[in-house]
Structure 1
Amino acid sequence: MRDWLYIVDPTEPSPDGQRLTKDRVLKQAETEPRQRWWLSRPRHMVPGDRIWIYFATPVKEVAAVAEVEGPPYGVAGDTKFPFRFPALLNFPATRALHQNPVPLATLSNRHAQGVTFVKANDIGLLLSHAGL
């Protein structure tokens, strides 16, 4: 299993046209936990991997977590984000992170861009905040 830092910009619309704020993702975790996430290029994600969702502007904090349910696959018609993957938001862990987010400044990778691996020395902090 791998842990990924998945970056979302709440000021920009997602491929479905909606903005992904911390509050919206928390609500999705409760009511529609199975989501399709997007990528600009393929990653070697496999079922069981975790994505730690980092909300960039303006909050700069990790405030949600999901488990990858399937590998990335290509989609037609989206040149900016031509790949998708299914993941299940963990409601209890996302609620815990929403209440006690992990500020980017406390992570080893303080200049996260794109989708990248979580550094090994940061996993304990994320798990602790998520109650996992």
Structure 2
Amino acid sequence: MADWIYILDPRRDTLDGEPSDKETMLQLAQEEPALELWLGRRNRMGPGDRLWFFFSRPEAAVAAVAEVDEEPRSDDEDPDIPFVVPVTLLTEATKSLYRDPVSRDELGLGQVRSVQKVKPEALPVLLARAGL
């Protein structure tokens, strides 16, 4: 199992047509937790991996988490999206992170990319804040 950081910028990214902010993610976790997310590259994600959502604005922090349901696959329907990965938001863990997000400093993030592995030293604080 691996843990990944998935970067969302609420100014330009959307989730099912809604802004990609932590409020929308909390609502999705409670009402429609199954999502398909786009990836710029395939990565080596597998079922059971966790995807931690880092919101770049207004507060740069992780405030939601999902479990990867299937390996990333090519999106044959949209040539502008190279890969998609099916995930399910973890409702209770997302509620916990929403109330007490993990800041960029606590994660030890330098330059952020769209998807990257969680640093081993950041994982304990993510798990604790999510109640996992």
CA deviation map 1:19-46 (0-9, x unaligned):
2110000000001011111111111110
- For this pair of structures, how many residues does the alignment match? 131
- In 1, Cα distance between the equivalents of 2:126 and 2:12? 25
Q: Give me the CA root mean square deviation.
A: 1.4
Aligned counterparts, 1:24-43, within 5 A: 24-43=24-43
Q: Which residue of 2 aligns with 1:73?
A: 73
Q: 2:18–2:24: 8 Å Cα contact kept in structure 1?
A: no
- In 2, Cα distance between the equivalents of 1:30 and 1:49? 20
- In 1, Cα distance between the equivalents of 2:41 and 2:13? 18
Q: 1:69 is matched by which residue type in structure 2?
A: D
Q: 2:67–2:88: 8 Å Cα contact kept in structure 1?
A: yes
Q: CA deviation at 1:87?
A: 0.5
Taking structure 1 as the reference length, what is the TM-score of the superposition?
Answer: 0.93
Q: Which residue of 1 aligns with 2:96?
A: 96
Q: 1:75 is matched by which residue type in structure 2?
A: D
- In 1, Cα distance between the equivalents of 2:126 and 2:42? 24
Taking structure 2 as the reference length, what is the TM-score of the superposition?
Answer: 0.93
Shift in CA distance, 125/40, structure 1 to aligned 2, threshold 3 Å: same
Unpaired runs of at least 5, structure 1: none
Aligned counterparts, 1:1-132, within 5 A: 1-14=1-14, 16-76=16-76, 77-79=78-80, 81-132=81-132
Q: CA deviation at 1:94?
A: 0.2
Unpaired runs of at least 5, structure 2: none
Q: Sequence identity of aligned pairs in percent?
A: 39
Q: 2:55–2:61: 8 Å Cα contact kept in structure 1?
A: yes
**66-75 or 8-17: bigger deviation:** 8-17
Q: 1:128 is matched by which residue type in structure 2?
A: A
Shift in CA distance, 26/83, structure 1 to aligned 2, threshold 3 Å: same
- In 1, Cα distance between the equivalents of 2:18 and 2:56? 16
